[in-house]
Amino acid sequence: MKPNPSLAFLSIILTGVAALKPQPLLSDSIQLTQQDIGDFSAIDFGDKTAVSPDDDNSPECKVFPGDEAWPSPAEWARLNTTLGGALLNPKPSAAVCYQGPDYDPTQCAFLLNNASSHYWLDEPLAALTEWSQGSTCPLALNPEGNCTRGGFPEYVVNATNVKHIQAAVNFARSKNIRLIIKNTGHDFGGRSVGAGSLSIWTHHLKQMEFIPSYELGPYQGMATHLGAGVESWEEHNFMAANNITFVSPGCGTVGGVGGWMSSGGHTTITSKVGLGLDQVLSLGVVTASGRFVTADPYTNSDLFYAIRGGGGATYGIVTSAIFKAYPPISVTSSSLSLTLSNSSNTPPTTPGLVTDPDTFWEGVGLYYRFAAKVLDAGGYGFSYVYPRANNTFLFTTSSQFPGFTPAAVYSFMQPLYIDLNRIGINVTNPMSLSARPYGAPGIGIGPSPGNTRYRSRLLPRENWEDDGLWNQTMNAIRKATEGGSENDFYFHGTLTSPTAEVAGWPGNESAVNPAWRNNRMHAMLMDQAPRQSAERDAMFRGYMDLLREVSPGAGSYMNEGDPGEPNWQQAFYGTNYPRLLRIKRARDPWALFWAPTTPGSEGWAVRSVDGYAESQNGRLCRAGKFDGEK
């Protein structure tokens, strides 16, 4: 039989279309229908043309448990039926340690002694940073006082498909209930907890698919389709299985799509291929009206722009993302440590031992300034300066080089060691290095709940280019870090350079904080005090001002930044803020999505019952209008 040219043409078109539009993930394809809604109007879709964000008659506060308008048990039960049983009403895990109906000493002992970090990740309420919840039910043996829910959500939707998310979004919007989104709960600023809320838990959206050939505008290449709940270690296993690389968080249990991507997402290969958000080609999103949409540079482009850098939990709920993928990349690391010690107990053979503080800080400065070369070669630096007793310090750093052989790294680092030796520091350039695949298999181990709090400054490249400014920068880092000796904090410097050029398209058209594009060092002061207070904030503000003063107009990384950051609109979003605010108001006139320091969040505040401004333990109300009302 003669081939039919029109059929052949059709088949070429269909093949092309298949390459352009891969099959949706199963979780994205299960969606809420009018049949599901039936006469349950509380889960019907919203009409954003019928509301205005400026409506003066809109309720002052989100409805709170105990309010007359709080849904009845029958309504919650009906929601649960629609969700097929995915609605959870969990108690705080540590309730088992407190005298009362939940007391269970065996389970309490397990939590204290044997619960793994992933155990906590699989807990629907748990958040990694406990202070933001109000620390109302801390885990302890024979604790005093009561365990109360505090800033933990009231109900949790264990979402395994888009339909679950749509029904929960519609219910929360119709009932004016505070909505939060939790993925891993790793946020350091209290963005995945909230008193009196309904939480959408995306943790179990785990599907991943490899797309060998993906075309979108000028992009032609490999891609991966990732469910919103995948963790970095799972992504690494997927990379290893498919012999590919794609950008994922450095810590194994951080989510690869949720908050990490929405505000940036830096990692070892960021100076080489860009931030997490630079990898995104397309997103599945449930909007505030409850509709599921695709967002890419050509469809819902406002959402696509805003979600990549404009903050999580603000414009919609991401259900999946298509990321660029690359051939395997190997990474070689080289470590250096310096110890400032004035103790005669420190063996003189300790590598990098320095007894003079000025020489120690000169050595730290030599490394940091040299790191600009590492970044320009596509590398990454990960460093800490820890205060020790008697105003002494330990400096540790690892320089990581994607695509370099161990021999090339040795040669690259040698000039730094010559300089360190020249100022009298006894260190030797390590020779026995090995290259490791970036996409090596991972394991699901991360931190357990604690009280880490970051303050961040993205120090710009200009500070590396001028000797005077460089000296001021190092003086600021030194003074701020020395403050940690008395005040119990330490310094963390992450060096990476995701320029617009490295980001490529479409990352270079995103809402990323412009300070990232000009970044040399993401400089952080790290706190682990369980009790946060206005006094402690003021102390930190003084030290952070030192870093701000040497980088006027630069910014801060929200994911590892301070929820109390002054002038956060500029610091976290820079010149993108006005556009992001417009998109927020247009896409979510109900103010359904809310998280601290996200665009539009200044219109609301938590009336915290413990009186601490950054706590999520209280009712969420519009800010300003009814001052003093509780």
Residue of the chain from 53, 430, 447, 504 that contacts ligand FAD (CB under 6 A): 447
Instruction: Say how many residues touch ligand FAD, by CB under 6 A.
Output: 36
Query: Contact, 380 vs 374, CB < 8 A?
Result: yes
Which of these ranges, 82-90, 112-120, 256-264, 614-622, lies near ligand FAD under the rule CB under 6 A? Answer: 256-264
Nearer to ligand FAD, 258 or 484 (CB): 258
Considering only the stretches 243-251, 352-360, 389-397, 530-538, report the one whose residues sit in contact with ligand FAD under the rule CB under 6 A. Answer: 243-251
- Closer residue to ligand FAD, CB minimum distance, 97 or 313: 313
Q: To the nearest whole angstrom, how small is the minimum distance from the Cβ of residue 253 to ligand FAD? A: 7
Burial class (CB in 10 A: 0-12, 13-18, 19+), 557: buried
Stretch that binds ligand FAD, among 252-260, 388-396, 407-415, 609-617 (CB under 6 A): 252-260
**Residue 175, number of CB atoms within 10 A of its CB:** 18
| Structure-block tokens of residue 139 | 């885990």
For 113, the 3-state DSSP assignment is: helix
For ligand FAD, the closer CB: 128 or 288 = 128
Sequence-separated (6 or more) residues with CB below 8 Å from residue 248: 232, 235, 236, 239, 256, 267, 276
Strands (E), 341-427: 353-354, 380-388, 392-402
Q: Is 318 in the site for ligand FAD (CB under 6 A)?
A: yes
Binding mask 80-119 for ligand FAD (x = CB under 6 A): ----------------------------------------
Decide if residue 255 touches ligand FAD (CB under 6 A). Answer: yes
Among residues 378, 448, 380, 450, the alpha carbon closest in space to that of 130 is found at: 450
214: helix, coil or strand? strand
CA distances from 139 to 159, 184, 428 (A): 27, 19, 45
**Closer Cβ to ligand FAD, 182 or 236, answer by number:** 182
Q: Which is nearer to ligand FAD, 221 or 250 (CB)?
A: 250
331 burial type by CB count under 10 A (0-12 exposed, 13-18 middle, 19+ buried): buried
Q: Is 269 in the site for ligand FAD (CB under 6 A)?
A: no
Residue 286 binding ligand FAD, by CB under 6 A: no
Of residues 192 through 211, those in contact with ligand FAD by CB under 6 A are: 192, 202
Report the nearest approach of ligand FAD to the CB of residue 571 (Å): 16
Burial code (b: 16+ CB inside 10 Å, e: under 16) for 353-364 equals: bbeeeebbbbbb
Got the DSSP string for 491-529? EEEEE----HHHH-TTGGGS---HHHHTEEEEEEEEE--
Query: Among the candidate windows 73-81, 265-273, 290-298, 355-363, which touches ligand FAD by CB under 6 A?
Result: 265-273
Candidate list 313, 331, 476, 502; residue touching ligand FAD; CB under 6 A: 313
* Cβ neighbourhood burial of 58 (10 Å; 0-12, 13-18, 19+): middle
Q: Which residues bind ligand FAD (CB under 6 A)?
A: 128, 180-188, 191-192, 202, 228, 249-251, 254-255, 258-260, 262, 264-267, 312-313, 317-318, 446-447, 559-560, 595
